[in-house]
Amino acid sequence: MTADVWLPIPPDEIDGLPEGLAYRFWDGAEDFPADPADCAYYVVPYMKPAGIGVRPLPQMGSVQVVQTLSAGIDHVLPGLKHLPAGVRLCNARGVHEASTAELALTLILASLRGVPDFVRAQDRGEWLGGFRPALADRNVLIVGYGSIGAAIEDRLVPFEVARVARVARSARTTARGPVHPLTELPALLPEADVVVLSTPLTESTRGLVNGDFLARMKDGALLVNVARGPVVDTKALLAELESGRITAALDVTDPEPLPPGHPLWQAPGVLVSPHVGGPTSAFLPRAKRLLVDQLNRFVNREPLRNVMLTTGE
């Protein structure tokens, strides 16, 4: 029997897919394209509301690989309990680094230089001059130093920042310098002018940015979140924003989407973008390259890339 592969991109739009597989297009529609029990390789639909991507998992008793097209895997984890042991969960490392890092730099520069204020002033026909903070000579702290965190640092370097400090789950050394463990975060926060969150959402990072974290940030510091909304305690952040002590630029929020009337919309010193770190013109060609590479590896029984976990282990 030919193994089914469920793709959220029409297979006739992807050059280089290996032969010998039955490709089914499914992008989260109500009706499944085939019997989920026959699916061997499942690519989770991208940028869909919570719950859509995990809907077929309880019926996928023969699936061998679950592939996300996002860097994060938190939206898929609740469905893994339905799967047999030995299923590999792979993420989209290599697809989103450039776009997410671009947005992180955009949010930093727009916030520091007051671009939202200029746009509002333009709407009023007002010439809004004055001095603004620069990124040059600032200390930046990156919390979550995986491939996206490293890509953010790559783009910070030409802006002549004074220092980049890096924090991850565990300590290690990179070509650019040391990566500090999370346990050293309290000592690093008071030195940072800009704190960038690019960490995955896990049980250890959920609510990481709480009242204590924010209180340790220096007066006037900028918090940038391109990770996941629940990494930040929204109530604690609102208290700091409303005091005017810090500012924030958020591509992700908790709740998300941010509902009309939520106080974050009107909080002083905050710039909100609607979770657009990944969906750019760079996404589709990179996603297609990833899928072609992974599926050729799958057919040829070669090691898959980006295996985040294997069920039952």
254 and 108, same domain (yes or no): yes
CA angle 62, 66, 68 (to 5 degrees): 160
Residues with Cβ within 8 Å of residue 55, at least 6 apart in sequence: none
Question: Counting beta carbons within 10 angstroms of the beta carbon of residue 52, is it exposed (0 to 12), middle (13 to 18) or buried (19 or more)?
Answer: middle
Q: What percent of the chain has a predicted confidence (pLDDT) above 70?
A: 100
Count the domains in the chain. Answer: 2
Q: Among the options 75, 96, 180, 275, which is catalytic?
A: 275
Query: Is the domain of 143 the same as that of 213?
Result: yes
Q: Are residues 138 and 264 in the same domain?
A: yes
Helices (H), 176-275: 185-188, 211-216, 234-243, 263-266
6 bridge partner residues: 24, 42
**Helix, strand, coil % (nearest 5) of the chain?**
35, 20, 45
Asked whether residue 256 falls in the same domain as residue 237, the answer is: yes
The answer to whether residues 136 and 195 belong to one domain is yes
Calculate mean pLDDT across residues 165-194: 96
pLDDT score, position 2: 74
Task: Please check whether residues 249 and 143 belong to one and the same domain.
Answer: yes
Tokens encoding 142 = 């990156």
Instruction: Answer yes or no: 275 catalytic.
Output: yes
Name the percent of the chain lying above pLDDT 90. Answer: 98
pLDDT classification of 1: cutoffs 50, 70, 90: low
Nearest CA to 198 among 217, 160, 235, 224?
A: 224
pLDDT tens column, 27-77: 999 999 999 999 999 999 999 988 999 999 999 999 999 999 999 999 999
Q: Which domain holds residue 143?
A: 97-272
Q: Are residues 144 and 31 in the same domain?
A: no
pLDDT of 50 reads 81
Residues ≥6 apart with Cβ < 8 Å to 97? 71, 147, 148, 150, 151
If 0-12 CB within 10 Å is exposed, 13-18 middle and 19+ buried, where does residue 256 land? middle
Residues 118 and 266 in one domain: yes
Q: Same domain, yes or no, for 136 and 260?
A: yes
Q: Do residues 225 and 286 both lie within one domain?
A: no
117 plus 200 within the same structural domain? yes
Residue 103 is part of a domain; what is its CATH number? Answer: 3.40.50.720
Cα–Cα separations (whole angstroms), residue 15 to 10, 41, 78, 83: 11, 18, 32, 30
Indicate if the pLDDT at residue 147 is higher than 90: yes
**How far apart (Å, rounded) are the C-alpha atoms in residues 157 and 117?**
26
Residue identified by tokens 């991507």 is 53
Do 156 and 235 belong together in one domain?
yes
**Does residue 198 contact residue 226 with C-beta atoms inside 8 Å?**
yes
pLDDT of 227 higher than 60 = yes
End-to-end CA distance of the chain: 28
Q: Is the pLDDT of residue 296 over 60?
A: yes
Amino acid 9: pLDDT = 98
pLDDT confidence tier of residue 92, bands split at 50, 70 and 90: very high
